[in-house]
């Protein structure tokens, strides 16, 4: 049995299979995921797990070279917005209109559904690489 890191079988497998430039859409439980999209459902109930918890776990497991968020996040989910700006270098955070984020989300490897229950809290993360 794995004793540390991400224990969720499908999420762990997805991360292990990611290459440079592959992207994941981390979405709230309010998000309308396309019917045929690959989905990893982590939502237990509204608010559990929070987007920040999922993002922190992913940061421990993978190299993130780009973070895309909706501009609307600043006014609707200030805690998450501040966390992203304090955690990631400014040059890797891209703020786009929510409609653009939705357009980009359909091109991700998978949707990771969280229990986050606040609008405009969706994030797209892009995998980086290590030369080590």
CA distances from 35 to 38, 106, 114 (A): 9, 11, 17
The alpha-carbon radius of gyration of the chain (Å, integer) is: 14
- Active-site annotation holds for 8: no
Catalytic hit among 13, 17, 20, 56 = 20
CA distances from 95 to 17, 38, 75, 87, 123 (A): 27, 24, 13, 15, 10
Catalytic residues: 20
């Amino acid at each position: 049995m794995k004793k540390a890191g991400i224990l969720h079988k499908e999420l762990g497998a997805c991360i292990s299979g990611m290459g440079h430039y592959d992207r994941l859409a981390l979405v709230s439980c309010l998000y309308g995921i396309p019917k045929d999209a690959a989905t990893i459902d982590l939502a237990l109930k509204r608010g559990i797990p929070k987007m920040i918890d999922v993002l922190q776990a992913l940061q421990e497991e993978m190299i993130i070279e780009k973070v895309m968020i909706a501009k609307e996040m600043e006014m609707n989910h200030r805690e998450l917005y501040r966390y992203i700006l304090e955690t990631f270098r400014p040059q890797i955070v891209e703020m786009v209109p929510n409609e653009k984020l939705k357009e980009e989300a359909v091109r991700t490897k998978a949707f990771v559904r969280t229990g986050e229950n606040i609008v405009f809290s969706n994030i797209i993360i892009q995998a980086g690489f290590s030369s080590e």
